[in-house]
Structure 1
Amino acid sequence: MDHLLQPVLPAHFAVIAGWLDSPAATLRWAGPGVPIPLPADDAFAAALALPARPGWALLDADGTCVGFGQYWQTTPGNTHLGRIIVSPQARGRGLGRVLMTALCAEAVRRTASVQLTLKVYRENQAAVALYRDLGFVASEDACTPELLFMARRTA
């Protein structure tokens, strides 16, 4: 099945917000400072700081949004990936890999970064395994008991 990564559109906001089924899930995914529940209207863009942190939607062959992620430059040459999520109904089909591969490529293309970083909860073993498989390595000095800070060189 073909998938397309495109800039997130207002039509996707309610779909993505609907994937977060509790205040705890929203906090874990979006971080502190984001309203709970996550707005499903135009306030979604402001809540996730989309102008400064581009958001990308993964669409399936039917045009249905099945994934989302963001990236932002933290320092020259370094780009952080965050708020990565696959629709609960689409999980287990390899779409995390599709999303991450496309998101990484887009981030590097648009920012010319030499390093990509991300944070992941240690107990999210599927995500940790995927990120390791994609070349991300934990930087233990930056990790916490709850979170792994992972990085990957792009060149």
Structure 2
Amino acid sequence: MEPNFRPVQPLHYATIAGWLDSAAATQRWAGPGVPFPLPPPRFAQALELEARPGWVLLGERDDCLGFGQNWLTDAGTAHLGRILVSPLMRGRGLGRSLMQALGAEALRSPGVRRLTLRVYCDNAPALTLYRDLGFQPVEATSTPDLLFMQRADG
């Protein structure tokens, strides 16, 4: 199966929101101010999709397998965030596919040469993946709970 990477569409909102099983999980993934449950009609506004484009990883039958966003933060820097893989599909390499596609998309923006992200320190699978993809911790902008990571390209 070769997943497809496409801009998120309203038909995906309910699926993605359905991956979140609690207010705590929603806040951890999306930050404060994003409601749980996240109603599909509020999805685009709550996640600021106009300013922070959302992308989906789709399977063979156009089923939504993963979601992430990227946005410009500083000159030459794009931030990757709200990265999520369907709970039923974890452990199959889809996180890697999603991150590779999301990073490549962000690097298409003119002048972008650095990617950043934040990850909870207790999220061992994500930490391992991000390190494997070349992201390095930036201790000065990290907290005891949240690690800030970056990768320079080119």
Matched, 1:29 2:29: yes
Matched, 1:3 2:33: no
Q: Using the alignment, how far apart are the partners of 2:111 and 2:97 within structure 1?
A: 21
Structure 1: unaligned runs, 5 residues or longer: none
Aligned residues with identical type, % of pairs: 60
Task: Report the counterpart of residue 51 of structure 2 in structure 1.
Answer: 52
The Cα of 1:154 is off from its aligned counterpart by 1.4
For 1:82-135, what per-residue CA distance to the aligned partner results, in whole angstroms no more than 9, with x for missing partners?
000000000010000000000000111134411000000001000000000000
Matched, 1:134 2:140: no
Q: How does 1:59-74 map to 2 (within 5 A)?
A: 59-74=58-73
Q: Using the alignment, how far apart are the partners of 2:72 and 2:153 within structure 1?
A: 14
TM-score (norm 2): 0.98
Which piece of structure 1 moves more, 79-88 or 104-113? 104-113
The Cα of 1:53 is off from its aligned counterpart by 0.2
The letter for the 2-side match of 1:125 is A
Q: Using the alignment, how far apart are the partners of 1:63 and 1:110 within structure 2?
A: 26
Indicate conservation of the 8 Å contact 1:55/1:71, yes or no: yes
Assess, with a 3 A threshold, how the Cα gap between structure 1 residues 112 and 59 changes in structure 2: closer, same or farther: farther
SS of the equivalent of 2:65 reads strand
SS of the equivalent of 1:110 reads coil
Indicate conservation of the 8 Å contact 2:23/2:35, yes or no: no
Indicate conservation of the 8 Å contact 1:79/1:111, yes or no: no
Q: Using the alignment, how far apart are the partners of 1:111 and 1:124 within structure 2?
A: 32
Q: Using the alignment, how far apart are the partners of 1:110 and 1:58 within structure 2?
A: 20
Matched, 1:16 2:16: yes
Task: Report the counterpart of residue 89 of structure 1 in structure 2.
Answer: 88
SS of the equivalent of 2:79 reads strand
TM-score (norm 1): 0.97
Q: Using the alignment, how far apart are the partners of 2:23 and 2:95 within structure 1?
A: 23
Task: Report the counterpart of residue 121 of structure 2 in structure 1.
Answer: 122
How many residue pairs are counted as aligned between the two chains? 154
SS of the equivalent of 2:24 reads helix
SS of the equivalent of 1:144 reads coil
Runs of 4+ aligned residues of structure 1 deviating over 3 Å after TM superposition are: none
Q: Using the alignment, how far apart are the partners of 1:74 and 1:36 within structure 2?
A: 27
Structure 2: unaligned runs, 5 residues or longer: none
